[in-house]
Structure 1
Amino acid sequence: MFQPDLSTPRARNLALALLAMTQFVVVIDASIVNVALPSIGKALDFSQNDLSWVVNSYTLTFGGFLLLGGRLADYLGRRRVFMIGMTLFALASLAGGFAQNETWLIAARAVQGLGAAIASPAALSIITTTFEEGQERNNALGIWGAVAGAGGAAGVLLGGVLTEWAGWEWVLFVNVPIGLFIVWQAPKRLVESTSEEESDRTLDLPGAVTVSAGSALLVYAMVDAIKVGWGSTDTILRLIGAAVLLVAFVVIELRTRKPLIPFSIFRKRTLRGANLVGILIGMSLFSMFFLITLYLQQVLGDSALKAGLSYLPLAIAIILAAGAASALVTKVGFKNMLIVGMVFVAVALAWFSQISPDGSYAVDVLGPSILAGIGLGFSFVPVTIAAVSGTEAHEAGLASGLINTAQQVGGALGLAILASIANASTNDAFKTGADKATALTNGFSDAFTVGACFAVAGAILAAVLISSKDSAEHAEAARSGALEPVAA
C-alpha cells in the first residue's frame, strides 16, 4: 500500500488542507439548502410539512451514524473509510441534484448524511494521528475549527448565491467535483492507519446496529417534535424506542469481548466534560443560524441572496477567532479558552434577543453576529482539543466520533426546543392581536434568550467538569514541545 511521506511541514499542511476541505463541505450541507427550500418546494411540488425533511433527513443520518463511522475508521483504516464516505457523499449529491420528486431528494439527502457521518470522524482522527499533540495539533485543529464553524454560515451564504444565480440543483451539484477531487487526492496526501489493538478487525455488529438505530431514532424524535409536538404520542414513543435501543447497546457493550465503544474511555474526565459541553455548544449555536435566517427573510424582508450575504461577517469572525484560539490554547489552556468562548456566545445570544420587528441588519444582527462568531471560534477549537487530548492512537476514531455526535445531537435537540419555544411564543402573540412581524420577533427573541441560557450552562459545565490539571499540563507541554507524537 502506497504511503505518502508526511515528514515535511508542507506535506502535512497539504494533508490538512484536504481534510479541512472535507469538513467544510460536510458542515455546509446541513445549512446550504435552507435558503433554497422555497425553490425546491416549488420545483418538486413538496408539501409544506415535508419540506423540512430536505434538511432533517441529512441531519438524521449524519447524527445517527457518526459513532459507527468513527469506529469503522479505527477498524478498517482511516484513509480507506474516509474515501468511502466521501465517494458516497459525492454520488448522493449527484443523485439529489437530478431528483424528480420529493421521495427521491429526501432519500438522496439521507445517503449524503450517511457519507458525511463516515467521512467526518475519519478525517478528524487522521488529524489526531498525523499531527503531534501540542502546538502542531492545536494549529491543525484551529484550522479545522475555523472551517467547521464557518461552514454553517458559509452554507447559507453559498446557498443563497447558487439558488439565485444557478438554480437549487447546484446546492447539491457543487459537492460532486469537490468530493471527487478529495477522493482522488487522498491516497497522495494521507497516510493509512488503523487501530493496532484491533488487528483482527472484528466489529461488534449488534452494538453497531443498536447504537446507530438508537441515535438515529433519538435525532428523528427531536427534529420531528417541532412539527408534531413534544407531548405527542409519536414523539413519546420514539423517545422511548430510542432509550430502549441505547440501553440495549450499553448491555451489549458490557457483555461483549471487543465492544464497539469501550466504556473505559469515559474514565477520562476531560473527555467526558468536553462532550457534555459539546452538546450545549450544539444546543445554543446550531439553531442560531435557523433563527437568524428566518428573522432576516420573514421580518426584515431580505431576499435569499441578501440573507446569505448577511452571514459573511459572522463567517469571517469565526475563521479569525478559531485561528487565534489555536494559539491561545497553548498559552492559557483549553479549559479557560472554552469558558471564555461560551461566555461570548451567551452575550451574543442575549444581544440577539433584543431584536426589533422594525429593526435593521446593521442595528439588530451585525454586532451580535460578530460576537457569536468570536464565541464559536473560541469554543469549537478548545472543545475539540479537549475531546481528543490524551487519547491513545487506537481511540482516535472513537473520540472523534463522540465529539461530533455530541455536537450534532445537541444541535438537533437545541433546534427542536428553541423552534418549539419560538412557535409557541409567536402563537401567543397572535392571540393578543399582534401583527405578523411583531409576533415572529417575539418568538425569535424568546428562543434566543433560552439559547443564551444554554451557553451559560455550557460555561459553567466547562468550569466544573473539565480538568484544570489536564488543561494546564497540555498547555505547558505544548509550550515546551514535550508532547510525544501519537503513533499511527
Structure 2
Amino acid sequence: MPSDINPEFVAPGDPPRGDKMTFTLWRTLVILLLAQFVMAVDFSILNVALPEIGTALGFSLSGIQWIVTSFALAAAGFTLFFGRLGDYVGRLRLFVTGMIALGVASLVGGLAESQSVLLAARVAQGLATAMVTPTALSLLTTSFPEGSLRDRALGMNGAIMSAGFTTGAIMSGVLLDMLSWRWLFFINVPIAIIVAIMAPMVIREPKRETRLGRANLDMPGAVLVTATVLALIYGITSLGDHGAEAVFGVEALILSAVLFMAFLFVESRAAEPLVPLAILKRRSVLVGNFSGLLAFATETSLVFLMTLYMQKVLGQSGTITGAAFAVLGFGTVMGGVFAPRVMSAIGTKGALLSGFALQGVATSALILLSLDASASMPILLVATFLGGIGNMLAIVGFMTAATSGLPNEQQGLATGLAILTQQFGITIGIPIMSAIATARMTSLGGTAGSEPELTILDGVVFAVMVNVALVALGFLGAMVLKSEEPSRGRQQP
C-alpha cells in the first residue's frame, strides 16, 4: 500500500511514518501558519482604531472607510493574479517577496503623517496579502498529500486564521490603550522579517510536474479579472456604505459584469489561460467556493451585527465587546482542531453539511436577543461559540473541497480562487448586512425616535434572520457535492 507521505517531502534521515507528521513537515507548517496568522490579524486589527486614526490624520467620517476599503480592494483584486503568478515564477519566491513587502508597507504605515501616505501603505499591505495568502496555502496543499495529513494541516490553518482574526480585534484595543495606533502597523515588521528569513531555509517547494513559462502568462486575463473584482468590490462596498447616494456604485457593478464577460471570452481563447475554464466545471471547486463564500460572508458580518448590538443596544464598552468575541474565537479554534477528525469520520461533504447545520442552528438563537442584557448575553456567548465551531468546520471543508484532486501546477490557481472567495466573502459580508439592517431601521422611522435602541435591535434581528437564510443556502449548496470516502481511507494518487 502506498505511503501517505511522498518521499519528496521528507528530510534526509526522516523516514515516512504513514500519516504521522515528520520534522520537515512540522517546520514547514509552523512557518506557513505564522504567515497566515499575521495576515488574519491584519484583517481586523485596525477596525477598533479607525476613529483614532481618522482624527490623527484628518480623515472625514465618510473617508475613514477607505483605510479598510483600500486594503480590501488590493488584497481581493490581485489575489487570483498572484496565486497564478506563483505557478509560473515559484510560490516560495513570491511568498518571501510578499512578506518583505508586508514588512516595508507596515513600517511606512506606522510612520505615516498624511492621509495619502497611509492609504498608499494600506494598498501595499493589500498587495502583499494578495502575494502571501494564496502562495502560503498552495505551499501547504502541495507539501501535504491529500488525505489525513492535508486535512490536519488545513484544519490547523483554519484555526490559526480564526485565532488571528479574533486576536487582531482584541490586540487593537490593548495596543491603543498602552501605546498608539502606529503600533498596529509596527507589530507586523518583526514577524515579516522572521518569516522572510526562515522560509527559504525551512520550506522545500515541491517540484512541478510541468514547467510553466513566464512568457505564457495570460496578462490580458490577469488585467481583466483584477479589474472585474476591483469594480465589483467597489460597487458593493460603496452601495453598502452609502446606499443610493454612492458615487458610481451601480455603475461599478455594471462595469464589473461587462469586464467579467470579456474575461470569459479571453480565457476561452487563450493558449495558457489564467483560469482554465475547465477547472470551474469541477463540482468540488465550484461548490467548495460557493460554500466558502457564504461561510465567510455570514460569520464576519455576524461579528459586525453583534458589535452593533452590544455597543448601541446594550451600551457595552469596546473592551467588553472584544472580550465577548474571544469566546467566538475560541469556538473557531476548536472547530479547526476538530475538523480533521470530523472529515476522517464523515468526509468533506459531511463536514460542510454538519458545519452549516450547527452554524445555522446557533445563529438562529440570536433572533431571541432583547434589550435585557442579563438574559441576552448568555444566549449571545453560547450561540457565537457554537456557531464558531460550525463555521470553521464549513471553512475547512470548503478549503479541502476547493483544492483537492488537482495537479501541483494548478494548486496556485485553486488556492488563489479559494483565497479570493475568502477575501470576497469577508469584504462584502459587512456592507451587505449593514445595508439590510439600516434599511430595516429606516423603514421603522430611523433611530431618532424615543426608543432608538429598540429600532436598532429590530434592524439587527432582521439582519440575523437574513444571515440564517444564507447559512441555509450554504447547506443546500453543499448537498450537491459528490460524496466521498472519509479521508482516513484516501491515499495520495
Do Structure 1 and Structure 2 share a fold, with TM-score over 0.5?
yes
Match of 1:254 in 2: 268
The question of whether the paired residues in 2 share the 8 Å contact of 1:81 and 1:122 is answered with yes
Q: Which of these residues, 424, 434, 440, is aligned with residue 456 of structure 2?
A: 440
Correspondence 1:479 to 2:493: no
Q: Which sits farther off after the overlay, 361-370 or 85-94?
A: 361-370
Q: Which of these residues, 140, 148, 163, is aligned with residue 135 of structure 1?
A: 148
TM-score, normalization: structure 1?
A: 0.93
Correspondence 1:24 to 2:37: yes
The question of whether the paired residues in 2 share the 8 Å contact of 1:92 and 1:109 is answered with yes
Give secondary structure in 1 for the equivalent of 2:43.
coil
Distance in 2 of aligned mates of 1:335 and 1:251: 32
- The alpha-carbon deviation at position 404 of structure 1 amounts to 1.3
TM-score, normalization: structure 2?
A: 0.92
- The alpha-carbon deviation at position 231 of structure 1 amounts to 8.0
Instruction: Report Cα offsets for 1:286-317 as digits up to 9, x if no partner.
Output: 21222222323333333333322222111111
**Correspondences of 1:129-208 after superposition (within 5 Å):** 129-193=142-206, 195-201=208-214, 202-208=216-222
Distance in 1 of aligned mates of 2:442 and 2:388: 30
- The alpha-carbon deviation at position 210 of structure 1 amounts to 0.8
Correspondence 1:40 to 2:56: no
The question of whether the paired residues in 1 share the 8 Å contact of 2:267 and 2:275 is answered with yes
Instruction: Report Cα offsets for 1:8-43 as digits up to 9, x if no partner.
Output: 412211211111111111122111111111211221
Match of 1:314 in 2: 328
**Correspondences of 1:399-418 after superposition (within 5 Å):** 399-418=414-433
Query: Quick one: structure 1 residues 318 and 268, their matched pair in 2 at CA, closer, same or farther if it must change by over 3 Å?
Result: same
Distance in 2 of aligned mates of 1:41 and 1:94: 18
- The alpha-carbon deviation at position 332 of structure 1 amounts to 0.7
- The alpha-carbon deviation at position 225 of structure 1 amounts to 1.1
Match of 1:461 in 2: 477
Q: Which of these residues, 263, 269, 272, is aligned with residue 277 of structure 2?
A: 263
Q: Which of these residues, 71, 77, 86, is aligned with residue 64 of structure 1?
A: 77
Give secondary structure in 2 for the equivalent of 1:446.
helix
Query: Quick one: structure 1 residues 377 and 168, their matched pair in 2 at CA, closer, same or farther if it must change by over 3 Å?
Result: same
Aligned residue-pair number: 475
Query: Quick one: structure 1 residues 350 and 102, their matched pair in 2 at CA, closer, same or farther if it must change by over 3 Å?
Result: farther
- The alpha-carbon deviation at position 414 of structure 1 amounts to 2.5
The one-letter amino acid paired with 2:405 is: G
- The alpha-carbon deviation at position 407 of structure 1 amounts to 2.4
Question: Is there any run of 5+ residues in structure 2 with no aligned partner, and where?
Answer: 1-7, 15-21
Match of 2:399 in 1: 384
Q: Which sits farther off after the overlay, 164-173 or 128-137?
A: 164-173
Distance in 1 of aligned mates of 2:152 and 2:198: 22
The question of whether the paired residues in 2 share the 8 Å contact of 1:204 and 1:260 is answered with yes
**Correspondences of 1:216-227 after superposition (within 5 Å):** 216-227=230-241
Correspondence 1:11 to 2:20: no
Instruction: Report Cα offsets for 1:69-118 as digits up to 9, x if no partner.
Output: 11011111010011111111121111111121223222211211111011
Distance in 2 of aligned mates of 1:142 and 1:33: 26
Correspondence 1:238 to 2:252: yes
TM-align CA RMSD: 2.0
Q: Which sits farther off after the overlay, 157-166 or 113-122?
A: 157-166
The one-letter amino acid paired with 2:141 is: T
The one-letter amino acid paired with 2:196 is: V
Query: Quick one: structure 1 residues 301 and 431, their matched pair in 2 at CA, closer, same or farther if it must change by over 3 Å?
Result: closer
Query: Quick one: structure 1 residues 204 and 299, their matched pair in 2 at CA, closer, same or farther if it must change by over 3 Å?
Result: same
Instruction: Report Cα offsets for 1:228-258 as digits up to 9, x if no partner.
Output: 3158672211011111222111111111111
Query: Quick one: structure 1 residues 296 and 405, their matched pair in 2 at CA, closer, same or farther if it must change by over 3 Å?
Result: same
Match of 2:3 in 1: none
Distance in 1 of aligned mates of 2:247 and 2:30: 47
The one-letter amino acid paired with 1:78 is: R
The question of whether the paired residues in 2 share the 8 Å contact of 1:4 and 1:189 is answered with no
The question of whether the paired residues in 2 share the 8 Å contact of 1:75 and 1:195 is answered with no
The question of whether the paired residues in 1 share the 8 Å contact of 2:231 and 2:256 is answered with yes
Q: Which sits farther off after the overlay, 239-248 or 357-366?
A: 357-366
Distance in 1 of aligned mates of 2:116 and 2:367: 37
The one-letter amino acid paired with 1:438 is: L
Match of 2:18 in 1: none
Give secondary structure in 1 for the equivalent of 2:210.
helix
Instruction: Report Cα offsets for 1:21-70 as digits up to 9, x if no partner.
Output: 11111122111111111211221222110111211211111111110111
**Correspondences of 1:236-385 after superposition (within 5 Å):** 236-360=250-374, 362-385=377-400
Query: Quick one: structure 1 residues 208 and 354, their matched pair in 2 at CA, closer, same or farther if it must change by over 3 Å?
Result: same
Correspondence 1:429 to 2:444: yes
The question of whether the paired residues in 2 share the 8 Å contact of 1:152 and 1:289 is answered with no
Query: Quick one: structure 1 residues 19 and 243, their matched pair in 2 at CA, closer, same or farther if it must change by over 3 Å?
Result: same
The one-letter amino acid paired with 1:66 is: T
Distance in 1 of aligned mates of 2:316 and 2:324: 9
Question: Is there any run of 5+ residues in structure 1 with no aligned partner, and where?
Answer: none
Distance in 2 of aligned mates of 1:105 and 1:302: 30
Distance in 2 of aligned mates of 1:397 and 1:6: 24
Percentage of pairs with the same residue? 35
The one-letter amino acid paired with 1:482 is: Q
Q: Which sits farther off after the overlay, 166-175 or 358-367?
A: 358-367
Instruction: Report Cα offsets for 1:214-236 as digits up to 9, x if no partner.
Output: 11111111111122315867221
The one-letter amino acid paired with 1:261 is: V
The question of whether the paired residues in 2 share the 8 Å contact of 1:356 and 1:441 is answered with yes
Match of 2:62 in 1: 49
The question of whether the paired residues in 1 share the 8 Å contact of 2:9 and 2:206 is answered with no
Correspondence 1:94 to 2:107: yes
Instruction: Report Cα offsets for 1:460-479 as digits up to 9, x if no partner.
Output: 10012x111xx22xx2xx42
